[in-house]
Amino acid sequence: MAMTSSIVQTPIARKISTNAVIRTVLAKGKISRADIAKLTGLSKQTISDVVRDLEDDGWLKPVGQTDGRPGRNAIIYEINASAGLAVSIDLGGTKIAAAICDLLGNVVVETEVPTDPRGGPHLVNQFSDLITQLALAAGTTADKLHLVVLGSPGVLDPATGHINVAPNIPGVDAMDLRQAFSDKMGIPVIIENDVNLAAQGERWRGHGVEVGNFAFVALGTGIGMGIIANGALLRGARGAAGEIAYLPLGGDAFDPGGFTLGTFESAVGSVAMLRRYAGFGGSSASTVADLFAAFNAGETSAIAAIEETARLVAIAIAAIGATLDPELVITGGSIGARPELVNAIRAFLPRCTPYPPRIEISRFGNRAALMGGMGIAVERMHDDLFGVKLRDA
């Protein structure tokens, strides 16, 4: 009597097979079952079973057929990117940028609104309303979103959920923002320093993709740094690694006034640049944009102000280089994105350090933190839903 047999995978074996299939589709994009089998080494029957289940569950979708090959055409599959959605929010002192992204990191919908100046609990309500509106625009509802990644100035205290050293965001140092926000939305919330997120954004899809050691230096109204060391974000013992606003440069480190904004930030932030410009005799610029316009027009006071700022930043980068030895320093923020300043920094660096790192301006402008939030959201969704690490895919 003829006998037939089939191999029934155990739950663990099926999970491993599913992981291998998802990993392959994430890495290769549009692909046939036969090609998945070749790349994974799994049997055609196992691939067929796993792909069928993933398609039934909505994670994979057919997108066409192969052509130009011998034999019958085969169905081509890809990740159903819309099956998983998450939110990235960049909280600033004057504005909030927010976006919903899908499983592949595509932006589904994006917006920007003024920050509620009352801060504290009012921000939680503003976030909730903003996410509800974004979800509606994306054709879904807030409860269908997988998670929220929130970037904020300051340092998150992991024990209390309070955000410290964020003077432009009132009330966040007196509440567990993460818990309050998560309770309000009913979905997980990750809070990260905004400059750390900017570094993550560059690591995900920017200048840092192929670089294991680099620093993202944000220069604007405030000053901060995100550090990628040996391929991973460096947070430090209290989450304050990279708080270069407090470097003892550009002023008296023992002046207690520097405890609020930081000695270095007080010397190179936008307010300091305008003060320096006025000190050099300038009178036509009332904003940093005006200052750069005056620089480009050849005004002596503007040139002196920007060059002195660049000199101080170069010293800070030399200190960063001596401490961290980064291959690359990426600059961003409203001031750090200006090529006039960055070119001056590049000129000063070889004069204050024997090993000046490469300097690049962020590819993302003021969207760097938003990009980093999306990168973390995508990585978390891949891990939660498929057990696949983004960097492994």
Residue ranges in the chain modelled with pLDDT below 70: 1-9, 68-72, 388-393
* Distance, CA of 89 to CA of 97 (rounded, Å): 6
Terminal CA-CA length for the chain: 47
Residue range 148-170, pLDDT digits in tens: 999 999 888 877 778 887 777 88
pLDDT at residue 173 in the model:
86
| pLDDT of 237 | 86
Describe the crossing of helices 11-28 and 368-386 by its angle, rounded to 10 degrees.
Answer: 150
Beta strands (DSSP E) in 155-287 are 155-156, 163-164, 189-193, 214-219, 223-229, 232-233
Which one, of 219, 244, 187, lies nearest residue 345 by Cα? 219
Residues 6+ apart with CB under 8 A from 80: 58, 59, 60, 61, 103
Domains and CATH numbers, the chain: 11-79 (1.10.10.10), 84-198+369-392 (3.30.420.40), 208-362 (3.30.420.40)
Give the pLDDT of residue 2. Answer: 38
pLDDT for position 51: 93
